[in-house]
A and B are shown apart, each in its own frame.
Chain A
Amino acid sequence: MVDVNKIRFGALVREISVQQRQISFNSLVPVIEQDACGNSLPWQPGKLRVRPVDVYRILEPYVKVRLLEQIKAVLPLAAYLVLFQLFILRQNVTDSWLITAGLFSVIVGLMFFMEGLKIGFMPLGETIGTVLPQKSRLPVVLMLVFLLGISVTFAEPAIGALKNAGSTVNVEKAPYLYAMLNDWSGIFVLIVGIGVGLAAVLGTLRFIYGWSLKPFIYLGLLPTIALTIYIMGDPELSKILGLAWDCGAITTGPVTVPLVMSLGIGIAAAAGKGHSSLSGFGIVTLASMFPIAGAQVLALYMAQTTTPEAIIEGATAAGLAVDSAFWYKETPWVEIILGIRAIVPLVVFLLFIMLYVLHEKIKNPRVMAYGILLCVLGMIMFNLGLSYGLARLGGQSGGLVPAAFTNIDMVTGSPLYAYLLGIFIALAFSWLLGFGATLAEPALNALGMTVENLTNGAFKKSVLMYAVSFGVACGIAVGVLKIIYAIPIGYLLVPGYAMAVILTALSSEEFVNIAWDGAGVTTGPVTVPLVLAMGLGFGDAVGAVEGFGILTMASIGPIITVLSTGLWIRWKIRRRHEEEEEPLEQTEAAVP
């Protein structure tokens, strides 16, 4: 019996909720037509007509998510720099409108670039990765991997930042450094690319055979450090050391890492090996070690062929000729050409492999073309924003921070603080910058999650993130100290890497992989140019010869901190096991 005074709760809800209009699905489906023989013809769905409001509703979340991602990476850093400048140094930001526009251009450019990379390049990389090993023999595959490493380096956004930095180097103080970044910059990037290519080849072989990373680290570091010590003996050449070591951190960016990895993973899967999730690591480490050696060799070669005097002469001659600048050397054009030159070789190379080596069809040529177009557009905007926004802001802050402890012409009343306090403020500034920038880097979050899964929760995500950020922060602070007191970089590198090697020998394989890759993965396309520009501005303000080397320090730091944390965690686990086992043994002993 149903009580008439009661209604079902569901019925009540139906009454008070949104009205539902009902349409039969039958009235929506198309009528399938038949030909003369009575066979049904396949139905062709027509294009959907959408209202403008629908276009907005589709695009709004799509753009918002991607824009927010980049804003999160750029804005906190920029805000920190500006606030520090305003409140601690009490200086106004000059060209603030230009910088704002530049930062905006960086954000939008990165957004375009990342999206283009995802829909244009990644499918290509993945297809090549899976198909190539099936159709070609190993030497051919390795050869192509090597070439890919080179072309990918040219596409890396941070490489543009490096070239950008070249114009600020004083030719008379550091002629070789100037030559490397200006006259020889094409060869320099090529050499770095060859380093990345070699690293990709070795990394692929590691994928296939499952080699340990440790011997690679020892063998890779030995010649690099030896070259460094040799170069330190030459006062002119030693000025390029900072740059050589910095390009290690620069090469491993948002283009190289995923493209080379997707290829490597495909090859390993085709070889039936590499299911260990750890084998994905290591390429990054190698890719940041070989370019260092490459740049050093290039410097030695340069010393053989030209003299500092010739470079200075050439530079002053070029300086006089600047007046008759060509249209393609003026500012918007130069960025556009750079953007196209960065992306097009990579596209041509990948397409060549697809069409002529693999004879594969391209699945969605229009979608891919759109992706590549986005990439080029993004790269151009990023480059523009880099020169007007990030580099300018970084250089300005870097140039003003020394006003805290020394006399700077631009800043009235400098030094603003007592010497020791000022040095402390400068170090605290750089430490916090490093800590915040690293912690905010999205790649670090992803790495943290992978690591937590790999170690079954022993290495917590937050622990790793703090360890890496702490390492980067300390590294940047040490790098700033290096610039202030003009400490030769070798004195910092050799003990730093010696310590890292000792810790590596003590640590287990998985922590070695994580630690050595951590730094490379986390220095993204925003942090690198900003820190680079800051270092150069800083060096310029305190009258140092060159402002490179901060990034180097920032990549040793996390290696040491993560390895130490790993050892500490292992020790803690072992101690807990011992504590658990002891009472057990006692009771066992007591029973019989």
Chain B
Amino acid sequence: MSKKEITVLTDVALITCIVQRGLADDIIRAAQDAGAQGATVYYARGSGVRERLGALGLAIEVEKEVINIIVATDQIDHVFEKMHVTGKLDTPGMGFMYVTPLEKAATYIPHEIVMKLSR
């Protein structure tokens, strides 16, 4: 049996941000400017503050976009803050975001970087 080696990343965290449909692109750009590598977006439907806003709730889209961004633990605060500001999440109904600690992750890592860091 030949030995096969895989590389896993540690010190990773997941930032999830739920915003109204159509707003994800700007937030992702802000996160990338802050050093995030990539993002996954999926569509969802959510409720909560919208129902409690009365007539104003009509201005808020029911359809949401959920942004998943994996960051290094050192980046969490910087990326989190940039996304928070860009998404104007301190406005009622604009969305919700949270950070989840992750145990490990794996993806493509350029070969020379693997060589350099694993030594």
Contact = CB atoms under 8 A, between A and B. Distances in A.
Interface stretch (A55-63, A72-80, A222-230, A306-314): A55-63
Contacts of B53: 47-48, 50, 58
A370 B92 contact: no
A20 B60 CA distance: 27
A58 B77 contact: no
Contacts of B74: 8-10, 13
A50 B78 contact: no
B93 interface: yes
Contact of A10 (B22, B52, B77, B91): B77
B25 interface: no
Contacts of B39: none
Contacts of A54: 91-92
Contacts of B52: 45-48
A47 B49 CA distance: 9
A47 B94 CA distance: 17
Contacts of A119: 58
A539 B118 CA distance: 79
B88 A17 contact: no
A263 B88 CA distance: 38
A325 interface: no
A36 interface: no
Contacts of B94: 58
A59 B59 contact: yes
Interface string A236-265: 000000000000000000000000000000
Nearest to A8: B74
A448 to B, nearest CB: 19
Contacts of A57: 88, 91
Interface string B55-99: 110111000000000000111111001000100100111100000
Interface residues of A, number: 23
A14 B77 contact: yes
Contacts of A420: none
A2 interface: no
A48 B78 contact: no
B81 A58 contact: no
B51 interface: yes
Contacts of B110: none
A20 B99 CA distance: 14
B56 A58 contact: yes
Most buried by B among A8, A50, A59: A50
A10 B73 contact: yes
B56 A55 contact: yes
Contact of B59 (A18, A46, A48, A58): A58
B61 to A, nearest CB: 9
A367 interface: yes
A47 B73 CA distance: 38
B59 A17 contact: no
A18 B59 CA distance: 29
Contact of A58 (B73, B78, B91): B91
Nearest to B49: A48
A14 B75 CA distance: 9
B34 to A, nearest CB: 10
Nearest to A55: B56
A46 B94 CA distance: 19
B81 A17 contact: yes
Given A10-B77, A17-B81, A58 B51 contact: no
A522 B88 CA distance: 36
Given A46-B52, A48-B49, A62 B59 contact: yes
Contacts of B77: 10, 13-14, 17, 20
A20 B76 CA distance: 13
Contacts of A62: 59-60
5 contacts: A10-B74, A14-B77, A17-B77, A58-B56, A62-B60
Interface of B: 22, 49, 51-56, 58-60, 73-78, 81, 85, 88, 91-94
Across the A-B interface, give the 9 residue pairs with the lowest CB-CB distance, nearest first: A10-B74, A62-B59, A48-B52, A57-B91, A9-B74, A13-B78, A14-B77, A18-B81, A58-B59
